[in-house]
A and B are shown apart, each in its own frame.
Chain A
């Protein structure tokens, strides 16, 4: 007899919605609660990001939430830094201490506080806090992550890859994915790929490694790292020579017709020719006269040479584009060797792109009005779409490579059209967004807020944050000649610069959610040295005080003096705001919240509450009311509801106004959070159909976006194929203007601030001897792990507890290596021992590994003999912040010369068989774990629920 079973058991006492934070994709989730404990987590079907699906990490949230590595109370260091010896203290003591350290700085010199936050949480709050504190030394992790992508996009078309846009998955007919293993849009990309393949849409993956997305691509292009720019330029070359570009689109939406002054050696060379009102000029072929390039009733010339009134010559920007990419330097045959892509493949891909764009045109019968007020009864699209991320970004030529990809998209006419790459509101923004960084010398004063935000977008040398000697005013040297267009700051330089006192020392380094002594540091041994270096005279640490907020016992915690323990993501309020990095869709803006679904069982506090509390204790303007009392006594949820950045504009856009009836702008609504919760903890504002495409030039969209404060003006957003901002820096490097780069930087600025994108070899590669370091070494994110924090997860670590170095099978045979051999990976800074694995789907000049699997012994509540610690390895030990010395002795940072983006993937190595042994090297002193629970020897999670059932 077959047993009778209950096929309809109770699944939960309660199901609460919130937002996942096992990674930054921020999907909507539903948390099943039984007896107050988490029983199950699934995806919220209504949520625009994940539409019900969930990923490998999100489904393992229970183990993240119950990790034995969770910090339990505030900690004060008692041993030496890095010893892991702490004393538990009360929150009162912790906050008093922090207030006294920070108060002293604010009264004397606010820039002596460096406040850096790692993962992308609450940047709208943290940035505002820094600005109210008065320190320019604020950034989030963008500078080492993907600022190349953000900056290249925002300076080119007012949007960006990243999460600021997405392909029109539903309509695209051809999809190219560049240098992406997982990305922030984890679930959306996966869902879309599944649908594209089922629709028969060709998916091309450009990546030195074939795993994950590459595995299911119709075509995998195993490019040599750092050479994508050449490949793209060759595609452009092919499209130009065959006239397969959308000239109408260029004339309508770009600066292709803007006239560029050709006046070699002069101060205005390469700038746009402008009329008296400062409007760019074009040559109108209709009237045969110069005219404002922005006027609509002209027939602009895209090529030719024209003589301006005063005898200067000028050519349309497009002429320069054509001249550059028609050059044989970018012919497919020329790039084949360098990229490893056969010329025939380049030519075929170009043909496929053209075919998809021009022969598979998409038309939607949706009437819309363009910026000039002209009505169109259809939306016509070129259904080619692309997405790119760190494989492009994390090279020292990433900014220009990314610009090249955007140029390719624009030449095909495929930005924000049906089937193309689409903005997610609040994007597009003006080019660049009209927010300038503050923190110039006179703007940093005791007891005074900055006049604006610390981060923003500069438009020329005059916006740099340097003093009259050219010395950077920011600790990370962002917006200095080292990294002029560092839109996100340079988090990876903070510890080194602070310890070296270059440009100046700081008193307190305050960090949040960043494992800077391990997987997010470039060259771990050096950074550990900086964190523990003392001034021999005073015996004080060179970085005197470090405050750090983490939720878990990470490698970084041991290097803090004061540890502020955060909650887990299921225990707090959070706000995924349009002022920050929202969860919008191309069809409309969306924002979300996280609500506490379980209460903490430890003496921990949400970091945002703590930050608001500190702000009030320090009496920062905005954090206290007129009476000097805390302005948000209810903590972060109070702030989310009641804070106004500008009148009527707050962290959340929906259900504003006293009755909750307003969107975007409106008075605070005390029931706002309840409304979000009722709606599943998010709000998705779908735009009417006529606003969904051509947002950069769509009258209804632009007016609406201005109305709710997304953009400051409803002028059309004109794509900058040719970037005048870059040219301004170049002119400065050539000696024009009063703000001059130091001589060490002149050549670099002149070379790389090219107003048109171009390809150059990544720096480390050109600085080193190729025969000594013949291989590229790169990393990829495993889909089921989030950086360092996945390894504490009892389920996820069973899937990957050790990383290996993958190497092309053929190459391994040449080197006499076999599967599971131990090898030395040697770079110019040192060597690492690791175990190898052979595969065919890896570019022959490339080795790679999974990122951030390795752990330091003693951390994350793992046993000291955990495979993560004994066999795992980081390539970070080999990656330098600085490049090898060049002639003249100056060591440039190992980053993109435009943005300062860390060049993680420029690493070059050689591989040799290592002596027998089964431990990875280097190994660091094990850390002792402070005041944590003992991890169990066995887990039987779920047993409690079975017993509870009848």
Chain B
């Protein structure tokens, strides 16, 4: 699949934004994070900023962004619509939560309920985002149960890395926030590693013979293309990344998204608070780039079954 930058940015930025939002809501409600005004202001702004930037970025991908509002209508069947509805819905409790937090600097019962709603909606939104892809039977690398888990885990992991910076910037961080990041990153890594193992082991389901519906006559080879320049389908669905290239990128993604951030967090724990903020910032940047690479690969490694008509032997 063609890795469109708007979509990569959308899923990664909004994922991190929701992750951060979830942690803020959770730890704010639990009182682990002090509900100070500036933490709230910056934390929620960052999270809303990322979410909103992601959502906006996703409209770059649209032919008619001015009609984007229509996408809220089909929540009954469409994961994309659900994602849109939930994304917007999340703003409500999350916004109120932010207001209470910033204005009153304490959450109370109301705040707790709002936090709960925020967490559920944010998780659901990320889940829906993942399901946009995971529900596509046409792409075997996406159509597996691990995909939503990876999306959620990565959202929580990137969110936790952000939370760690935030907490540390305000001097409230500490080993707990680093450990949280380490834990989440490790979990996400484990899931992503499982994902890669799964798709590497996966048997392609369909052959060119299935595609044209004639079996038992022999191998199908494309000899005369339907058009000599790539059309939309080939541009969109025909993107292929060379095996060598993708292996290198996977290593980079692992290093940047997981290894370096985890190392930084460990360093924070081991080297103490003076080093903490620097390490957290490095971790954040590294994770951001790493997740973008991971997401790019998520698209680039995905093979669409339609390519069977365009010369692929299996998909």
Binding site for B on A (CB under 8 A): 211, 798-802, 806, 837-839, 867
Contacts and interface: CB of A to CB of B under 8 A. Distances in A.
B224 A801 contact: no
Contacts of A798: 227-229
Interface of B: 221, 223-224, 226-229
Contact of B223 (A799, A800, A801, A839): A839
Given A799-B228, A802-B228, 12 more contacts: A211-B224, A798-B228, A799-B226, A799-B227, A801-B228, A801-B229, A806-B223, A837-B223, A838-B223, A839-B223, A867-B228, A867-B229
A127 B197 CA distance: 76
B221, B226, B228: residue with the most chain A Cβ atoms closer than 10 Å: B228
18 contacts: A211-B224, A798-B227, A798-B228, A798-B229, A799-B226, A799-B227, A799-B228, A800-B228, A801-B228, A801-B229, A802-B228, A806-B223, A837-B223, A838-B223, A839-B221, A839-B223, A867-B228, A867-B229
Contacts of B226: 799
Closest 7 CB pairs of A and B: A801-B228, A839-B223, A802-B228, A798-B227, A800-B228, A799-B227, A801-B229
Contacts of A211: 224
A146 to B, nearest CB: 25
A798 B227 CA distance: 6
Contacts of A800: 228
Contacts of A799: 226-228
A211 B223 CA distance: 10
A801 B225 CA distance: 11
SS of B interface (majority): loop
A802 B223 CA distance: 14
A113 B229 CA distance: 45
A801 B229 CA distance: 7
A838 B227 CA distance: 17
B225 to A, nearest CB: 9
Contacts of B228: 798-802, 867
Contacts of B224: 211
Nearest to A853: B228
Nearest to B223: A839
A837 B229 CA distance: 16
Contacts of A838: 223
A70 B228 CA distance: 24
A799, A806, A838: residue with the most chain B Cβ atoms closer than 10 Å: A799
A855 to B, nearest CB: 13
A388 to B, nearest CB: 24
Contacts of B223: 806, 837-839
A800 B228 CA distance: 5
A910 to B, nearest CB: 23
A838 to B, nearest CB: 8
A800 B229 CA distance: 8
Nearest to B229: A801
A867 B230 CA distance: 12
A800 B226 CA distance: 8
Nearest to B231: A798
Nearest to A782: B224
Contacts of A837: 223
B15 to A, nearest CB: 35
Nearest to B218: A840
Contacts of A867: 228-229
A400 to B, nearest CB: 34
A837 B221 CA distance: 11
Nearest to A872: B228
A800 B227 CA distance: 6
Contacts of B221: 839
A674 to B, nearest CB: 43
A871 to B, nearest CB: 9
A823 to B, nearest CB: 17
A867 B227 CA distance: 12
A798 B226 CA distance: 9
Contacts of A801: 228-229
Nearest to A800: B228
Contacts of B229: 798, 801, 867
B42 to A, nearest CB: 46
Contacts of A839: 221, 223
A327 B229 CA distance: 54
B109 to A, nearest CB: 43
